[in-house]
Amino acid sequence: MQTTHRKIFIFSFFFPIAAFFAAFLALPSAASLVSAETVDELRQKISENNKKIENLQNQIEQYSNLLDSTSKEAKTLKSALSALELTQKKLETSLSLTTAQISKTKLTLAELNDDITLAERKIEKDLSAIGENIRAANMTESQSVVEELLGGKKLSDTWNYINALRTIQSRVEIDLENLRDLRATKALKRDQAAGEKAKLENYQKNLSDQKKVVVNTKQEKDKLLKDTQSKESNYKAILAEKIQQKEIFERELFAYESKLKIAIDPSAVPAARAGLLSWPLDKISVTQYFGKTVSAKRLYVSGTHNGMDLRASIGTPVRTALSGIVTETEAIKTKNGCQYGKFALIKHPNGLSTIYGHLSVVSVQPGDTVITGDIIGYSGDTGYATGPHLHFSLYATQGIRIVDSSSLGSARCAGIKTVAAPPAAYLDPMAYLPKP
């Protein structure tokens, strides 16, 4: 009877262990993902990449500071060419930075895969140890304590048997705890690897878009030299023409929007709250605020500015200010003096929409879902911009209308998309953004 009770105890204790054992054996192996390099070699290369990334980031910061200084200078052919040359150097450095980030991410993935494989091997070893202990316990349990005592065994020997069983149980409990820790570590490493893979995909996409910006910048520089024939007087004439084209389009847009009769339901728009939106650039420098400012009266036909302008050299990453769905973009067809040039319009789930204008490259397309902080494009000077910057507007979504510029009566900009809204649909972004 005692032997039967002990067998029931052993079975009830070790049955879940057997299931645990089988579950671990069923886990997929990461051995096929392991690189031939040692962990130390991988870590050394990651360290070298980190130093390279830091140096490149410092170079980019220096170029950005130089470009900020250049943008404050008088608009001359010399300053325009200087800005384009600095921009090209900055963009090429950004390409090198992204390449280094891709290299580092691949190395980190290899290191994580090595860690996963080592964990799997340790799991396999511990499972084997548990199996041996289970078999040892079964062998010990097959002996009858009563039979041993009747056969002349000493009571002390029986206690040794019981202690041996307890020792086996203790070993199994320790091994089980180790296995749980290993399983948790392996799961964590796999989550980290998934994050690194997603990061790698983003870097690779960014690299492709950054290459486009480099090509566009070179073409712009070549066009400027060709159009001006390296003469300051020609540059001044081209700049004056751009300003005139901008003013004509603004007048046409203002007249069109003033006639729009679209009711805006105040309850469909969230109350102003600082921090509801995030800044669309990593480094913030506001060059023109929303509304009727002193500069607005001087710069805009309507005397008011329907958004805000942020200093951004060509190729600066532009990020979405809030999660949402891309409802409209223009990534190809632009013309000097015609509204936002290349742009992205994003609808947010709270009744607001944001637009990002004058881009050099658009990285999203209609229907895409974006998360706050995602890169949606790169800044530029397309459309009716007279210099590189980001135009950022905030709307009550109800009021937005996308029309062909011919609807404004514009012959020159016909065929170009225009984003229009009644004055009441334009909101002050500063009321929803955190303090810079």
Name which of 352, 405, 407, 353 is nearest 383 in CA terms.
405
Please state the rounded mean pLDDT for residues 317-346. 95
Which single residue is written with the structure tokens 């905030």? 394
What is the model's pLDDT at position 142?
53
Structure tokens that stand for 416 in this block:
């170009």
Q: 244: buried, middle or exposed (CB in 10 Å: 19+, 13-18, 0-12)?
A: exposed
Distance from C-alpha of 279 to C-alpha of 432, rounded to nearest angstrom: 10
Q: pTM (2 decimals)? A: 0.79
What is the model's pLDDT at position 18?
44
In this structure, the number of other CB atoms found within 10 A of the CB of residue 132 comes to: 14
Q: Of the given ranges (64-73, 134-143, 195-204, 296-305), which has the lowest mean pLDDT?
A: 296-305
- Please name the amino acid found at residue 251: R
Higher pLDDT, 355 or 140: 355
For helices 155-228 and 77-141, angle between their N-to-C axes, nearest 10 degrees: 170
Asked whether the CA dihedral 53, 56, 58, 61 is positive or negative, the reply is: negative
Which one-letter DSSP state was computed for residue 270? P
Name which of 253, 341, 263, 242 is nearest 302 in CA terms.
253
Contact predicate 307/431, CB 8 Å: no
Please state the rounded mean pLDDT for residues 33-38. 50
Note the pLDDT tens digit of each residue in 13-32.
443 444 444 443 343 443 33
Backbone angles phi, psi at 318, to 5 degrees: -110, 130
What is the model's pLDDT at position 16?
44
Paired residues of 330 in beta bridges = 343
Note the pLDDT tens digit of each residue in 263-278.
899 899 999 999 999 9
Residue partners of 13: CB distance under 8 A and separation at least 6: 169
Name which of 309, 315, 321 is nearest 285 in CA terms.
309
In this structure, the number of other CB atoms found within 10 A of the CB of residue 347 comes to: 18
Instruction: Tell me the CA distances in angstroms from 25 to 16, 126, 127, 181, 386, one per residue in order.
Output: 14, 11, 8, 16, 65
Domain boundaries, the chain: 2-215, 265-431
Distance from C-alpha of 118 to C-alpha of 110, rounded to nearest angstrom: 12
- Please name the amino acid found at residue 187: A
Paired residues of 401 in beta bridges = 420
Note the pLDDT tens digit of each residue in 87-105.
999 999 999 999 999 999 9
Name which of 338, 314, 322 is nearest 408 in CA terms.
338
Which single residue is written with the structure tokens 């480094």? 283
Note the pLDDT tens digit of each residue in 376-417.
999 999 998 988 999 999 999 999 999 999 999 999 999 999
- Please name the amino acid found at residue 316: T
- CATH topology assigned to domain 265-431: Glucose Permease (Domain IIA) (2.70.70)
Measure the CA angle with vertex 365, ends 256 and 101; round to 5°. Answer: 130
Confidence of residue 314 (pLDDT cuts 50, 70, 90): very high
Structure tokens that stand for 79 in this block:
């300053």
